[in-house]
Amino acid sequence: MTPEHIQTFSTALTMQHERAATPFDDLDSVVALYQPRIFRFLLANLRDRDAAETLTQETFLRAWTSRTSFRADCSVSTWLLRIALNLVRDHTRTNRFRFWKKAAAAAVDADEIASTLSSQDAGPETRMLAREQVARVWQVVGRLSERQRSVFLLRFVEELEIPEIAQATGMPVGTVKSHLYRALAAVRTQSAGAAKEAR
Amino acid sequence: MNRIAERCTHLSAEEMGELLDQNQPADMTSARLHLATCTECAAELDGLRDTLALFRESASTFASQQLAGSRTIRGELPTSRRIAVSPQLIWAAAALVAVGVALPLRHHEQRPAVTARTTTAGSAAKTGESDQALMEDIDRDLSAGVPESLQPLASPAASSNAENQPTTIRKN
């Protein structure tokens, strides 16, 4: 094989590579842009920092290894969330997860999350009431089914629209709405009960 | 008849969910009208909206704190420089390396005798000294008597004489 043939072959491969470029080729930028969001979703879903870290890394690794299957029929963030959702589903189905879930209600306490609220412009009593209310919501979310919790978090934390949630979860729009409204009903019931106790 | 009066139930979870959504469907007139007249539902909707906003804020703040204190996730992922090289280019590069290595090796195989002749005298002398020491060790072992633990395995003819002879137990 002459040097000229090697150069032509290398050029042809480079051209082929350039045509198949995906947004995930620059993984540094993708991670920098979407890592906080993916980690936030996984942490809120699993309530386990170590698991969230591990699955966040796994999400980007899978996105990289399967980047050629990204067809741009959805946004990059939606595609990443889809991968993360699959990982959550696999994670929560293991026997080990079920064991530890029974052993501890939640690795991250609802009050711990709610205590991060600052609300500098509110009085101490108002802040305390707000934290208690948010902590109750976290408790309710922790008791939801995996699908209801994921849909709820995608809607009210990640602020995805219903069609985007349907794309990320692979569920029909009607099913997404059903899960969302059931989750919302649970939150409303908890809030209504707390309001009655306060009176 | 007043349409507002016909409605005797408060907003459902579905209607609440639709109202919380900025892109509300067109068939929400009844719910919006009820909201305009029912202070309880209006208060609940406002409270729910505020609570969910705080819920989102707590999720973001908590995740930011946890991410700041966590190990570097990025460090274990493929780097951009490695990402820029496709598998095809890797195979091409490997083929080039193989060709580049094969040519010098072929040249090297034609000169084994020259390499042998260029062995220095100093290294040969060291080899000879170590061989001599090895031979002396072997001689020493062969001339040593049968250890006490192996006495039953010794030749029956020599067993009667073994008791009178001193045994050498090799200590490693």
Q: What proportion of chain A, given as a percentage, has pLDDT over 90?
A: 50
Among A6, A13, A27, beta carbon nearest to B77: A27
Averaged over A75-103, what is the pLDDT? 81
Q: Are B96 and A3 in contact (CB under 8 A)?
A: no
ipTM for the predicted complex: 0.82
Phi-psi region of B22 (alpha: psi -120 to 50; beta: other; left: phi over 0): alpha
Q: Identify the weakest region by mean pLDDT among A28-32, A77-81, B77-81.
A: B77-81
More confident residue, B150 or A108: A108
What number of other Cβ atoms are within 10 A of residue A57's Cβ?
A: 21
Read off the pTM.
Answer: 0.65
Residues of A in contact with B47 (CB under 8 A): 191
Per-residue confidence (pLDDT) for residue A178, from 0 to 100: 94
Q: Is A17 helix (H, G, I), strand (E, B) or coil?
A: helix
Per-residue 3-state assignment (H helix, E strand, C coil) for A129-152: HHHHHHHHHHHHHHHCCHHHHHHH
B96 at the A interface (CB within 8 A)? Answer: yes
Per-residue confidence (pLDDT) for residue A124, from 0 to 100: 80
Phi-psi region of B71 (alpha: psi -120 to 50; beta: other; left: phi over 0): beta
Scanning A84-123 for CB atoms below 8 A from B yields: 108, 112-114, 116-119
B74 at the A interface (CB within 8 A)? Answer: yes
Per-residue confidence (pLDDT) for residue B4, from 0 to 100: 44
Q: What is the pLDDT of residues A10-29, one digit of tens each?
A: 555 555 555 567 788 888 89
Spatial distance between the Cα atoms of A9 and B57, rounded to a whole number of angstroms: 54
Q: Which two tokens stand for residue A184?
A: 């919302």
Q: Find how far residue A128's CA is from the centre of its chain.
A: 28
B113 at the A interface (CB within 8 A)? Answer: no
Question: Residue A71 — φ and ψ, nearest 5°?
Answer: -105, 5
Spatial distance between the Cα atoms of B108 and A183, rounded to a whole number of angstroms: 74
Spatial distance between the Cα atoms of A63 and A61, rounded to a whole number of angstroms: 5
Spatial distance between the Cα atoms of A173 and A178, rounded to a whole number of angstroms: 9
Scanning A170-189 for CB atoms below 8 A from B yields: 177, 180-182, 184-185, 187-188
Q: Identify the weakest region by mean pLDDT among A58-67, A68-77, A157-166, B83-92.
A: B83-92
Which of A2-6, B17-21, B143-147 has the highest average model confidence (pLDDT)?
Answer: B17-21
Per-residue confidence (pLDDT) for residue B126, from 0 to 100: 58
Per-residue confidence (pLDDT) for residue A22, from 0 to 100: 78
More confident residue, A140 or B2: A140
Q: Nearest-CA residue of chain A relative to B23?
A: A161
More confident residue, A40 or A27: A40
Spatial distance between the Cα atoms of A71 and A22, rounded to a whole number of angstroms: 9
A130 at the B interface (CB within 8 A)? Answer: yes
- Give the Å distances, CA to CA, from B141 to B3, B34, B65, B129, B137: 114, 107, 71, 19, 6
Spatial distance between the Cα atoms of A172 and B37, rounded to a whole number of angstroms: 34
Scanning A135-154 for CB atoms below 8 A from B yields: 137-138, 153
Scanning B27-66 for CB atoms below 8 A from A yields: 44, 47-48, 51-52, 54-66
CB under 8 Å to A131, separation ≥6 — which residues?
Answer: A111, A114, A115, A117
Spatial distance between the Cα atoms of A23 and A168, rounded to a whole number of angstroms: 18
A65 at the B interface (CB within 8 A)? Answer: no
Distance from CA of A176 to the nearest CA of B (A): 12
Q: Nearest-CA residue of chain B relative to A162?
A: B21
